[in-house]
Amino acid sequence: MEQYLSVYELLGLSARMLRKEDLAYDFLEGSLPPPTDSGMSGQVTLDTNSYEYKLFITAVNNVCEDLAAQYSLLCYEETFSGNKIKYSDLEYNIAKVIEVKDPKGNKTKFYRSSDGLLFSKTDTYTILYTYKPNKITGNTQIMLYPIVPKATLAYGVCAQYCIMDGLFDEAEMWESRYKEALLGQFRQTKNIKMRAKIWQ
């Protein structure tokens, strides 16, 4: 069974790591259901237009996009009939084609066009591809978890947040923790680079 991580939970953990306790509380409470007549604690209304909220959401998107691109973590398989597979007909936003097979399970040669994949004959084809994560909002469930532990994701979010907020010394510390955690997770030695997208 697939497991997912709530964006609000990740934001709460990241804010707590950055010692933004009030914001961490708002993020974590924001993932709770609305209050009931029994008087139980309920949902906090988050200011999704605030500078910090937008910065955190951008940081989460940056980390998930980079992880998906570098490690091909998000894969999907679909089957089509015909002599062309249009990118627009795919379930997800394709990043890279891993392989295409014919009905017998043999790898099939294909040609790329501006809007899809072309084949020399009409048949049923199965395409396995990596895809880019959709834009993440507060209500999104992150599919990279549990492949990447939530603490590791939070390190990356903290690094991106600090980079965009101009806290470069802190960003260096969090990025170092993030890289070390990834290297330990994937047992790789290649240099891991993080993009810093500017939020406006």
Query: In three state form, how does the secondary structure of 28-47 look?
Result: HHHCCCCCCCCCCCCCCCCC
Q: Are residues 66 and 150 in the same domain?
A: yes
Report yes or no on 191 lying in a domain. Answer: no
Is 16 a domain residue? yes
Q: Which domain holds residue 97?
A: 75-132
How far is the C-alpha of 112 from the C-alpha of 125, rounded, in Å? 15
Residue 167 is assigned to a structural domain of this protein: yes
Residues 67 and 142 in one domain: yes
> What total of structural domains would you count in the chain?
2
* Burial class of residue 76 in the structure, from the number of CB atoms within 10 Å of its CB (0-12 exposed, 13-18 middle, 19+ buried): middle
Taking only the tens of pLDDT, the chain with its 200 residues reads 346 788 899 999 999 999 999 888 888 876 544 344 444 444 456 778 889 999 999 999 999 888 887 776 777 889 999 999 999 999 888 888 989 999 999 999 999 998 999 999 999 999 988 887 778 887 777 777 667 889 999 999 999 999 999 999 999 999 999 999 988 877 643 444 444 443 33
Clarify whether residues 145 and 170 are in a common domain.
yes
Do 125 and 140 lie in a common domain? no
Tell me whether residue 197 is in a domain.
Answer: no
The Cα 128–Cα 101 span in angstroms is 9
Q: Are residues 59 and 150 located together in one domain of the fold?
A: yes
64 in the same domain as 82? no
Q: Rounded to two decimals, what is the model's pTM? A: 0.69
The answer as to whether 93 is a domain residue is: yes
Single residue among 112, 132, 152 that ends a domain in this structure: 132
Residues 37-70: tens digit of each pLDDT: 444 444 456 778 889 999 999 999 999 888 887 7
Residues 13 and 42 in one domain: yes
Task: Please classify residue 56 by burial: count the beta carbons closer than 10 Å to its beta carbon, then call 0-12 exposed, 13-18 middle and 19+ buried.
Answer: buried
| Other Cβ atoms within 10 Å of 13 Cβ, number | 21
Residue-wise pLDDT for 132-145, tens only, equals: 777 888 777 777 76
Answer yes or no: do 64 and 80 share one domain. no
In the numeric block, which tokens belong to residue 19? 């010692």
SS3 1: coil
| C-alpha to C-alpha distance for 11 and 27, rounded to whole angstroms | 6
CA distance 123 to 111: 15
Does 122 reside within a domain?
Answer: yes
Is there a single domain that holds both residue 66 and residue 22?
Answer: yes
